[in-house]
């Protein structure tokens, strides 16, 4: 007999997934965390292992899965350019085959299913800030396409299963998110800058550092995802979840230097192909429908993330 809600989190041993596991356990759910450990690690959920309502399962979402759950958060997919470009064919497979399998599972179980989509569906946007109505400006054949188009196709599958099979779907378009448990070598800007600053290395700005991003602290993001899952069935999204505070990459570098007290220099490297020039979510829908908005300021979130990496690097004797 199952009194509590059973929740499957694919990619649950990753950065965002591990916080989702934690919050849902706190809320009383039974959590099945599924991961193939491509970018996630057991370490991210080690503190949950003894929990009576927590289970960790090694599995690749590209293969069918037969379990019994009430809700599915489909988070499985490498998220940083370095990792998703390492094996781009596998990245598209994870998004597309993974979505088909998880939607098939949800269909059989009549379970609610949430997709971790991304601001990358907007590509290099010509509308600013980005609203959910914007169809995006994505290169279909570039080095970022395996991720962007894979996620776009997953959205298509979600909406077709909704229309064709009346599935209860929720699509969240997640904007750049940061916090503890980011992979130290995953190449994303926040982890790169913090690790470089703590090690006293040069801070690598790609291009001239004038491109912008809007950074959301992981606690805020996870609260938004759970609020979306709890909306009435009529709410499908897509819905932007992110922090509208927009910063240039140079401002981010300067803030990290300020907060760490590092003596690192700024150095300039070539801008990667198809790197979006600007990105800022319009979160009107999230405010109205989810009654959600982010509450953690960039400096506060960065301080917590710096403290995490400081301990991690000290443990590994990587600090100067």
Residue whose entry in the numeric block shows the structure tokens 């998004």: 95
Report, in Å, the least distance between residue 47 CB and ligand NAD.
16
Quick check: 173 binds ligand UDP (CB under 6 A)? no
Pick 38 or 54: Cβ nearer ligand NAD: 38
Pick 61 or 203: Cβ nearer ligand NAD: 61
Report, in Å, the least distance between residue 164 CB and ligand NAD.
23
Three-state secondary-structure class, residue 172: strand
Write the CB contacts of 267 (distance below 8 Å, at least 6 apart in sequence): 202, 203, 204, 205
Site for ligand UDP in 243-262 (CB under 6 A): 249
Report, in Å, the least distance between residue 77 CB and ligand NAD.
4
On whether the CB atoms of residues 262 and 197 are closer than 8 A, the answer is yes
Pick 8 or 111: Cβ nearer ligand NAD: 8
- DSSP assignments along 52-89, one per residue: TTEEEEE--TTS------SEEEE--S--SHHHHTTSHH
b/e map of 246-285 (b: 16 or more CB within 10 Å)? bbbbbebbbebbebbebebeeeeeeeeeeebebbbbbbeb
Quick check: 15 binds ligand NAD (CB under 6 A)? yes
Radius of gyration of the chain (CA): 19
Quick check: 16 binds ligand UDP (CB under 6 A)? no
Q: Which of 87, 274, 275, 310 binds ligand UDP (CB under 6 A)?
A: 275
Quick check: 105 binds ligand NAD (CB under 6 A)? no
Interatomic CA distance for residues 160 and 281, integer angstroms = 25
| Part of the chain binding ligand NAD (CB under 6 A), chosen from 56-64, 191-199, 274-282, 303-311 | 56-64
- 238 cis-preceded (ω within 30 degrees of 0): yes
The residue ranges that bind ligand UDP (CB under 6 A) are 64-66, 80-81, 100-101, 104-105, 107-108, 176, 188-189, 192, 204-206, 211, 213, 249, 272, 275
Catalytic positions: 147
């Amino acid at each position: 007999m199952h009194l509590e809600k059973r929740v499957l989190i694919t990619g649950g041993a990753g950065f965002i997934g591990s916080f989702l596991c934690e919050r849902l356990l706190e809320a009383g759910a039974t959590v099945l965390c599924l991961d193939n450990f491509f970018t996630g690690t057991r370490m991210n959920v080690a503190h949950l292992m003894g929990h009576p309502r927590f289970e960790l399962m090694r599995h690749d979402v590209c293969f069918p899965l037969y379990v019994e759950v009430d809700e599915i958060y489909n988070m499985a997919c490498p998220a940083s350019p370095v990792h998703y470009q390492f094996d781009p064919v596998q990245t598209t497979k994870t998004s597309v085959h993974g979505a088909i399998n998880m939607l098939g599972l949800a269909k059989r179980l009549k379970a609610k299913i949430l997709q971790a989509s991304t601001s990358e569906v907007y590509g290099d946007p010509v509308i600013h800030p980005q609203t959910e109505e914007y169809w995006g400006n994505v290169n279909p054949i570039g080095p970022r396409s395996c991720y962007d188009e894979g996620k776009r196709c997953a959205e298509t599958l979600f909406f077709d299963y909704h229309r064709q099979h009346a599935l209860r779907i929720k699509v969240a378009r997640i904007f750049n998110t940061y916090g503890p448990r980011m992979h130290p070598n995953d190449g994303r800007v926040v982890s790169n800058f913090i690790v470089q600053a703590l090690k006293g290395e040069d801070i690598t700005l790609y291009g001239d550092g004038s491109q912008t991003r809007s950074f959301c602290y992981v606690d805020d993001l996870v609260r938004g995802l759970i609020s979306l899952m709890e909306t009435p069935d009529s709410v499908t999204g897509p819905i932007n979840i992110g922090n509208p505070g927009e910063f240039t990459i140079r401002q981010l570098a300067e803030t990290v230097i300020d907060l760490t007290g590092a003596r690192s220099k700024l150095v300039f490297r070539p801008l990667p192909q198809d790197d979006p020039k600007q990105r800022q979510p319009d979160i009107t829908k999230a405010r109205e429908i989810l009654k959600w908005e982010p509450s953690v300021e960039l400096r506060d979130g960065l301080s917590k993330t710096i403290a995490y990496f400081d301990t991690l690097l000290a443990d590994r004797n990587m600090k100067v």
